[in-house]
């Protein structure tokens, strides 16, 4: 019997969003890290600007361009059977840039893009610096321009407000988010760098914009994903935990290897070559030696 065609990923992400459980996305920056997220059982991949930058040894400060973001997201999409949500920072410029970016990501199989209301060049939200925002109407125009460029109605455009990051409080975040939803955004990501979940919970309780919310519990990691879901956040993004785990793991192994001078001494604590071959989808005939 011929194989039934798989539902396209944007449609799958929309279905997941209507489900009874949080959609959990994990930050990744290439095919391998996306595959690790899939193997661990998550529902989506977050193509993270922080991870993309950090993996090149660069700060997350709008240094990489659209082509690099698109290529990376495509590699992730190709590696997994999960929808990829591409973090697009400020959208690579003005309304025309957002439209161009959306078309490119859509054509390459990505399920959703997310743009944020900061001024270009943006700094990572956790950087101790001012986080200036563009006027609400200006950002709404970027969203509208992106949405007009969409050819698959299921492709999602997520609007991210950095109002809480900029210290502007829940009322401003709500006002912005309402305007973004009214402009047609499919979901709103409200980011916070507070170690307490209070603002996020208040925002969820007062949210009346009619589209799903997205949370990134990096600093308020004491919150369980189910609690966030119950507070209105249907997508929960674990944005950088894979990369941070990799840095700890590689550091402790290389430190031990440098001290010991013998590869065997670190073998037991690291992934095997067969496991790597498996992650690479190496044909079964080629077994890893020994
Ligand atoms: C990212 O992962 O690139 C994000 C989330 O945008 S954060 O780093 O918290 O800004
Ligand atoms: Mg980012």
DSSP string, 23-82: EEEEEESSHHHHHHHHHTT-SEEEE-HHHHHHTTT--SSS-S-HHHHHHHHHHHHHH-SS
Start-to-end CA span in the chain (Å): 39
Confirm whether 38 is domain-assigned: yes
User: How far does residue 45's CA lie from ligand 2's centre (Å)?
Assistant: 13
Confirm whether 86 is domain-assigned: yes
User: How far does residue 267's CA lie from ligand 1's centre (Å)?
Assistant: 33
- Tell me the CATH number at 221: 3.20.20.60
User: How far does residue 27's CA lie from ligand 1's centre (Å)?
Assistant: 9
Confirm whether 1 is domain-assigned: no
What is the structure's pLDDT at 80?
A: 98
Which atom belonging to ligand 1 lies closest to the Cα atom of 116? 6
- Do 186 and 269 have their domain in common? no
Q: Which contiguous run of DSSP H or E holds residue 173? A: helix 169-182
What is the structure's pLDDT at 27?
A: 98
What is the structure's pLDDT at 1?
A: 60
- Do 229 and 123 have their domain in common? yes
Nearest CA to ligand 1 atom 10: 125
How many CB atoms are closer than 10 A to CB 81?
A: 10
Nearest CA to ligand 1 atom 7: 125
What is the structure's pLDDT at 284?
A: 84
What is the structure's pLDDT at 5?
A: 77
What is the structure's pLDDT at 128?
A: 94
**48, 68 Cβ separation under 8 angstroms:** no
Print pLDDT tens along the chain (290 aa): 667 778 999 999 999 999 999 999 999 999 999 999 999 999 999 999 999 999 999 999 999 999 999 999 999 999 999 999 999 999 999 999 999 999 999 999 999 999 999 999 999 999 999 999 999 999 999 999 999 999 999 999 999 999 999 999 999 999 999 999 999 999 999 999 999 999 999 999 999 999 999 999 999 999 999 999 999 999 999 999 999 999 999 999 999 999 999 999 999 999 999 999 999 999 988 877 76
Counting the structural domains of the chain, the total is 2
What is the structure's pLDDT at 176?
A: 98
Nearest CA to ligand 1 atom 2: 48
Nearest CA to ligand 1 atom 8: 50
- Do 174 and 265 have their domain in common? no
**154, 8 Cβ separation under 8 angstroms:** yes
Confirm whether 95 is domain-assigned: yes
* pTM attached to this predicted model: 0.97
User: How far does residue 47's CA lie from ligand 2's centre (Å)?
Assistant: 8
User: Distances in Å between the alpha carbon of 282 and those of 35, 74, 135, 275, 288?
Assistant: 14, 20, 50, 10, 9
Q: Which ligand neighbours the alpha carbon of 216 most closely?
A: 1
Q: Which ligand neighbours the alpha carbon of 239 most closely?
A: 1
How many CB atoms are closer than 10 A to CB 135?
A: 10
- Do 274 and 131 have their domain in common? no
Domain membership of residue 277 as a residue range:
248-286
> Which of residues 204, 221, 241 is at a domain's end?
241
Which residues sit with their C-beta closer than 6 Å to ligand 1? 27, 48-50, 60, 87, 124-125, 216, 218, 239-240
Q: Supply the residues annotated as catalytic.
A: 60
Q: State both tokens at 32.
A: 């391998």
């Amino acid at each position: 019997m011929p194989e039934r065609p798989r539902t396209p990923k944007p449609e799958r992400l929309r279905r997941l969003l209507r489900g009874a459980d949080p959609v959990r996305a994990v930050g990744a920056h290439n095919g391998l890290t996306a595959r690790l997220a899939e193997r661990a059982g998550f529902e989506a991949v977050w193509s993270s600007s922080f991870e993309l930058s950090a993996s090149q040894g660069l700060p997350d400060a709008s240094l990489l361009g659209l082509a690099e973001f698109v290529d990376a997201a495509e590699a992730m999409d190709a590696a997994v059977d999960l929808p990829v949500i591409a973090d697009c920072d400020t959208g690579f410029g003005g309304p025309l840039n957002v439209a161009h970016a959306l078309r490119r990501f859509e054509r390459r199989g990505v399920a959703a893009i997310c743009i944020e209301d900061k001024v270009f060049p943006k700094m990572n939200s956790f950087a101790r610096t001012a986080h200036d925002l563009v006027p609400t109407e200006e950002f709404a125009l970027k969203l509208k321009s992106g949405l007009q460029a969409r050819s698959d109605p299921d492709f999602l455009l997520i609007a991210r407000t950095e109002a809480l990051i900029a210290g502007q409080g829940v009322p401003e975040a709500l006002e912005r988010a309402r305007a973004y939803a009214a402009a047609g955004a499919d979901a709103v990501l409200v980011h916070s760098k507070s170690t307490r979940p209070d603002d996020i919970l208040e925002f969820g309780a007062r949210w009346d914009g009619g589209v799903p919310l997205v949370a990134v519990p990096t600093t308020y990691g004491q919150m369980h994903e189910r609690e966030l879901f119950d507070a209105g956040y249907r997508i929960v993004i674990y944005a950088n935990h894979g990369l941070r785990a990799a840095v700890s793991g590689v550091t402790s192994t290389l430190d031990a290897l440098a001290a010991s001078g013998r590869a065997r001494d670190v073998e037991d604590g690291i992934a095997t070559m067969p496991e790597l071959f498996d992650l690479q989808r190496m044909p079964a005939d080629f077994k890893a030696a020994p």
